[in-house]
Amino acid sequence: MMTAPLPAGAPITATVGLGERSYDIVIGRGLLSSLGRRIAALKPGARVAIVTDENVAPHYLAHCETVLREAGIPSAPVLVPPGEGSKSVTSFERVCDALIAARIERGDLVVALGGGVVGDLAGFAAASVRRGLDFVQVPTSLLAQVDSSVGGKTGINSRHGKNLIGAFHQPRLVVADTALLDTLPARQFRAGYAEVAKHGLLGDAEYFAWLEANWRDVFSGAPARGSAIAPREYAIWRSIEIKAAIVARDERETGERALLNLGHTFGHAFEAAAGFSDRLLHGEAVAIGIACAFEFSARLGLLPPADAERAVRHLAAVGLPTHIRDMSGAQPGGDALMELIAQDKKVQRGKLTFILVRGIGAGFVARDIDAGEVRAFLGEKLAKA
Ligand code: GLY
């Protein structure tokens, strides 16, 4: 196993370098216990609102309140129903009202304790109430720890599509306690792993090779060997490092940040075809989307078919879906998928933008992709079902 440059057991830190808005992401087992101390140091005298959902609250809300109280920080809980339905204008209004009713002001702090939905919703409420409150992300899912809690994308869904209402609002701190993943259902962990693999596949071939060799230990939460960081913590840290570097260079996605959407244009179409339901979790849709991005790149002659096969083989090895036929229930047809892809926000003047690859770890933004080529690729893929 590759050795990371920190002693075993110590929290690992990554930094998003954005000048005076820079912030740390601390990663390690049991870090929730340090939340009060960290917030007291970050914002002395702040009061806190903890936004969380009804699935996470029974596991972690009381502990979170206790560690804040022990650090002398008063807190008020704000609960929302679990699931994507909470990324709605109605929930947003409720959270904003609750923050105002709890008298959370500019000197105070919002804590987002939950997965991607809670982080996106609480972050957007923090961006909006009193024209901007500070917030801290405490992600409780693998997907939120390696992706959605980092980078400042916050928002809710519109009836026209996902994440169409929102703001860039960077957190002041991200506390990724890997012990919180112990209560995550296996399917959710696996879906989050699609975003872990994505970071290697888009930008770091060596990291991807490490994942191929060590993914079982990442899944099992195997302890550290010798002076190395434990494999799960290492994978989370390395994914965040890759994302943080990209965000630092292109916070508002005018260019390079789009690389983080590898697998997402195809993936969103599959997710939409499944009605954004449990039939296909976001990470599962991204896994099929990444497989499509690699296979489509190979079809265009951009990378050797063996590289596409290698990427797909790894996703399949961890148990992720890699083919449209892996969706449960009725499968979408090629025309329906094209319509969903065309509705995606990455369409400009009739040409489609995709994140394609020239090799493992060599993603690039392809802005001039002909819709006909995509339709032909999907037709071939569906015919192989
Ligand atoms: N999840 C993609 C991004 O943060 O840009």
**What domains can be seen in the chain, in order of their start residue?**
12-183 (3.40.50.1970), 262-385 (1.20.1090.10)
Kindly report the protein residue whose alpha carbon is nearest to atom 4 of ligand 1.
151
Q: What is the pLDDT of residue 1?
A: 42
User: Hey, which residues are catalytic here?
Assistant: 131, 153, 195, 243, 253, 257, 261, 264, 268, 282
What is the Cα–Cα distance from 378 to 365, expressed in whole angstroms? 20
- Residue identified by tokens 């259902």 is 185
Return all residues near 280 (Cβ < 8 A) that are at least 6 apart. Answer: 270, 271, 274, 288, 321, 327, 328
CA of 73 relative to ligand 1 center, distance in Å = 32
Q: For residues 242, 244, 248 and 253, what is the CA-based torsion angle, rounded to 10 degrees?
A: 80
Q: Read off φ and ψ for residue 155, nearest 5 degrees.
A: 160, 180
pLDDT value of position 3: 43
Rg (CA), the chain: 20
pTM metric for this prediction: 0.94
Rounded to the nearest angstrom, the gap between the alpha carbon of residue 237 and the centroid of all alpha carbons in its chain is: 13
pLDDT score for 2: 44
| Cα distance between residue 199 and residue 66, in whole Å | 35
pLDDT means over runs of 10, the chain (385 residues): 50 96 97 98 97 97 98 98 95 98 97 98 98 98 98 94 94 97 95 98 98 97 85 97 98 96 95 90 97 98 97 98 90 91 68 94 94 93 82
Range list of β-strands (E), 161-287: 161-168, 173-177
CA-closest residue to ligand 1 atom 2: 260
Site residues for ligand 1, CB cut-off 6 Å: 147, 151, 153, 257, 260-261
**Which has the closest alpha carbon to 171: 124, 117, 240, 130?**
124
Evaluate whether 370 touches 351 at the Cβ level (below 8 Å).
yes
Strand order in the sheet with 363-369: 347-348, 351-357, 363-369
Place of tokens 């590289």: 307
Expressed in angstroms and rounded, the spacing between residue 258 Cα and the centre of ligand 1 is: 7
Top mutation candidate among 243, 251, 286, 346 for ligand 1, by most atoms within 8 Å of CB: 243
Helix (H, G, I), strand (E, B) or coil at 37: helix
Q: Are 262 and 202 in contact (CB under 8 A)?
A: yes
